[in-house]
Structure 1
């Protein structure tokens, strides 16, 4: 008996080709997918929207890249960078409608914080360009780093400070750093002030870029796993005024991201 020949569904084949391409690359722009598959960009967009609605891919705000939905391709821990960014991304998009200035999401590394996501592209302002993903931020000279360092446990904080301590720190400088972190814990958010003497990464950039920033930790099960900030040009508002206007929205976003991560621990 001859085997019955069944036609394949060409549209489904093409959709699976796109999904496999995204999974293989881990992150891909629309243009990269266009070059890899030969499909028109309009067709690709429809496929990507469909794949997104089915929970198979998601689009990062920071650069518009399409990434595989983490839960579909791996059982990653809650601290997975991809998982944190994916969960946080829609909340950061919502934050952009409430706060006039952009934000970055960053996670801790050995001696720096790493940007995982930013809603900066949603703001059509030269002064609002933050990121890109992968940029390394200082623990002690950025609000982003300070928010994490202040919120983590004593043992982790001591280990990070040990890594950052210069060979010959100025007398009293470590006590100054620890006192500043205590004040951050007490008030619940971090800023770039006061300036500190240790020559950690980002110090010169912070001194000359003319920006101001505040940041809060994202807590999961009582411990920080990342931080989220708001950054604005110094000439556009004093710290006190911006904090008073936007801190509640920033904290609410951090809580929402933390709850979402607890509900989707992956």
Structure 2
């Protein structure tokens, strides 16, 4: 890749007068040797999987194998259709669609890791909501995925996208930043605005711990995906309005990396602390695993 950090990505896009998604497509073509058409076809396949997971969670009565989660996506989506939501219909639908994808993941359904399975609902939720609110075609939304991928590439290579390595900030935080950047370009924003949106979204999730109840990617993971979709839209709106992150986005990523390094192991996907160590969480854990815990 010709860019390693977000500042270089913006500089490249501005110099060549191209959107971020175009830079990412060209870089991928160069690195893989595949044709542009083939690269876009691969991303389109991922998009189709995303949309299928969104639809499934909204239509089916999905329950996770543990029985802990399921059905919230349908509840929120039906609530959104009443037109009286406090967030507004678009943001509430984005939240429902993010929940939907995450519930499909918890039920061992097919999803796209964006950038991980634990944060798989945020980008699909945002893309699905923009499809309706902006009247975007499938081809346009696929291009937005390349914008998200460019941000994810930088985060993964300069910090972490692993809950075990850096807490939930590295998963939900990264996904929220990716979705915020994609939303800006899909709305007609500039590369600079897209990257500012990523920085604004990410810095409001710094320090978010990874504390899955019973070690499962369900509680609080699914709900955090729902909130992440709304935060992504908020970050995009702020950037499009002209708000800039005082701390440069690349420094926000650096801060996330440093926070992850000092985060206690109990708060990094071990289910040893945070919400996972509450009395209710331990009770649920015993209900799920039963004698396995006693024997351990």
Do the two structures share a fold, i.e. TM-score over 0.5? no
Query: Under a length normalisation based on structure 1, what TM-score does the superposition of the two structures give?
Result: 0.28
Higher helix share: 2
More strand per residue: 1 or 2? 1
TM-score of the pair, normalised by structure 2 = 0.26
Task: Kindly indicate whether structure 1 or structure 2 has the higher relative contact order, using CA contacts under 8 Å at least 6 residues apart.
Answer: 2
Higher Rg of the two aligned structures:
1
